[in-house]
Structure 1
């Protein structure tokens, strides 16, 4: 079982390193996360055409660099020639894991093409207990679990989250039966990462949190940037918050007690 989640209190995850405070997914953003005393970073990855895994939310370079084109259609040499809004080139995942050994990283695999390069990078860096793999795609997560096994933490995909929401609304005996069909800690699944609501329907409710905990899953909520929303969710009993304003999140958590 993965040791990704550890320590007392809720988890503070800097979303893309704090996209409302620094240029997202940049080395500067990672350094910002560390400087705030946070142990957890949320990021996104794509692979170049020659298999280098880079931190990037978008499939293209246009929004956050001075270059253009799809990451997956360019070699690393070409991608590395461009500069992001911090003035640096895109950060490679192996650099992130190697240069910041104290940081735990939630990695969103953004498309199918990144799966094999991501698996190879994690095997090469042996960062097993330091990463949690995430994706909206259940099939993509299934491929990652099959390749890496339960030593690498994962979250739930969109389909399994919907099943967890449905299970949370069932009476206890039926809920227990429904939960047995979901990935859990024995499979490497350690958390579910969800919005407060989806298409106007509430997701994060007391019953949802109870069902997730019953199945051994932590509940992390995204993307929470306002202090009053942070306090409300923490009062509800969530296990972590993902924020574009990690400095604000740190201050809220510090005022409340232990966190990590």
Structure 2
């Protein structure tokens, strides 16, 4: 990548990402959860996005309303008005992605484009809020990410999709294959293991750093794992326990 994208922060800084905001009440991806993360001092949150039948980006993890709200139905088959009528945990409205981007103009937002329905709506929400410098577009599908980014007028940060991450690990995080595997992205956002098989070690982090790519790890909710990953040099941690991650970073003198 020619330049370091502003989303990544200063070199050497740790990106603390509140996963779907922060809620101990099951109110994930709600405005209340995002506000709770901001109140803790978080400058980064992670969210997910789908598109409604009328082309509006919704901040919601699942493709349907069934699990997290008091209503049911596929988001892509419903207009935004009906999706907005659902209540997360029975109490909180399902937010528009544009509201998440616009309510906190200094907040960095990691957006996982979950389905084809979200491609154009996510791009339009980023454009309308002019939030390019503080957004990372991610997706398990590299094609979805690329199709989203192509619609933007300015660059955003980009995270590797599943095939790109697999390509990185296929070369063992070593050798000449690392650069080509990650040539289209700014960072890897990955779990520490897959099907209980460990993936990430210090050599992988070092290899990513050698080609100028960051490494964020999800979803880390215990103190010991946070310390271990920070010790091997990861650049960011995604967590449901924003309160705990803050304590860990404060103790290490790396909280910003």
Q: TM-score, normalised by structure 1?
A: 0.91
Cα distance, 1:110 vs structure 2: 0.3
RMSD of Structure 2 on Structure 1 (CA): 1.7
Question: Which aligned pairs between 1:49-128 and structure 2 lie closer than 5 A?
Answer: 49-85=53-89, 87-128=91-132
Residue 8 of structure 2: aligned partner: 5
Cα distance, 1:148 vs structure 2: 2.8
CA distance in 1, matches of 2:103, 2:6: 20
| SS, match of residue 189 in structure 2 | strand
| SS, match of residue 181 in structure 1 | helix
CA distance in 2, matches of 1:57, 1:69: 14
Instruction: Name stretches of at least 5 consecutive residues in structure 1 with no aligned partner.
Output: none
User: What's the CA shift string for 1:196-221, capped at 9, x where partnerless?
Assistant: 11123322111111111112111111
CA distance in 1, matches of 2:138, 2:197: 22
CA distance in 1, matches of 2:43, 2:213: 19
Residue 156 of structure 1: aligned partner: 160
Residue 225 of structure 1: aligned partner: 221
Moved over 3 A (4+): 19-22
Q: Cα gap change, 1:129/1:169 in structure 2, threshold over 3 Å: closer, same or farther?
A: closer
| SS, match of residue 132 in structure 1 | strand
Cα distance, 1:167 vs structure 2: 2.4
- Residue 24 (1) aligns with residue 20 (2): no
- Residue 135 (1) aligns with residue 131 (2): no
| SS, match of residue 213 in structure 1 | helix
| SS, match of residue 38 in structure 1 | coil
User: What's the CA shift string for 1:161-182, capped at 9, x where partnerless?
Assistant: 0111122354xxxx22x13323
Residue 233 of structure 2: aligned partner: 237
- The number of equivalent residue pairs is 252
Q: Cα gap change, 1:203/1:64 in structure 2, threshold over 3 Å: closer, same or farther?
A: same
CA distance in 2, matches of 1:218, 1:20: 29
Q: TM-score, normalised by structure 2?
A: 0.93
Greater relative CO (CA pairs within 8 A, separation 6+): 1
CA distance in 1, matches of 2:144, 2:60: 18
CA distance in 2, matches of 1:149, 1:205: 36
Residue 255 of structure 1: aligned partner: 251
Residue 180 of structure 1: aligned partner: 179
| SS, match of residue 41 in structure 1 | strand
CA distance in 2, matches of 1:87, 1:66: 9
